[in-house]
Amino acid sequence: MPPFARLKTIEREDRPATPEEKAALVKYTGWGAMPNAFAPQPPREWQSVADELKDLLSADEYASARASTPNAHYTSAEVVQAIWQAMERFGLQPGAQILEPSMGVGHFFGLMPEGLYPGTRRTGVELDFITASIAAKLYPDSTIHPRAFEDTPLPRDFFDAAIGNIPFGNYPVYDPAYRGSPHLTRAIHDYFLAKCLDVVRPGGVIAVITSRYTMDKQDSTVRRHLADGSILLGAVRLPNTAFKANAGTEVTTDILFLQKRSPETPSPGEGWTELTSIETTVTEPITWPGVEA
User: Running DSSP on this structure, what letter comes out for residue 184?
Assistant: G
CA distance linking residue 49 with residue 44, whole number of Å: 10
pLDDT in tens, 96-155: 999 999 998 899 999 999 999 999 999 999 988 888 999 999 999 999 999 999 999 999
Q: What is the pLDDT at residue 287?
A: 46
Q: Give the start-to-end residue ranges of the domains of the chain.
A: 3-68, 77-282
Confidence of residue 282 (pLDDT cuts 50, 70, 90): very low
Task: Write the secondary structure of 22-78 as one string of H (helix), E (strand) and C (coil).
Answer: HHHHCCCCCCCCCHHHHCCCCCHHHHHHHHHHHHHCCHHHHHHHHHHCCCCCCCCHH
Q: In terms of CATH architecture, what is 77-282?
A: 3-Layer(aba) Sandwich (3.40)
Confidence of residue 267 (pLDDT cuts 50, 70, 90): low
Whether the per-residue pLDDT at 75 is higher than 80: the answer is no
Q: What is the rounded average pLDDT for all residues in the chain?
A: 82
The half-sphere exposure of 258 on its side-chain side, counting CA atoms within 13 A, is 35
Identify residue 54 by its one-letter amino acid code: K
CA distance linking residue 1 with residue 40, whole number of Å: 25
**Which position has the higher pLDDT, 213 or 241?**
213
Give the bridge partners for 235, in sequence order.
256, 281
pLDDT in tens, 34-54: 666 667 777 777 788 778 777
Polymer length in residues for the chain: 293
Q: What is the pLDDT at residue 70?
A: 55
Identify residue 172 by its one-letter amino acid code: P
User: Running DSSP on this structure, what letter comes out for residue 291?
Assistant: S
**Which position has the higher pLDDT, 145 or 26?**
145
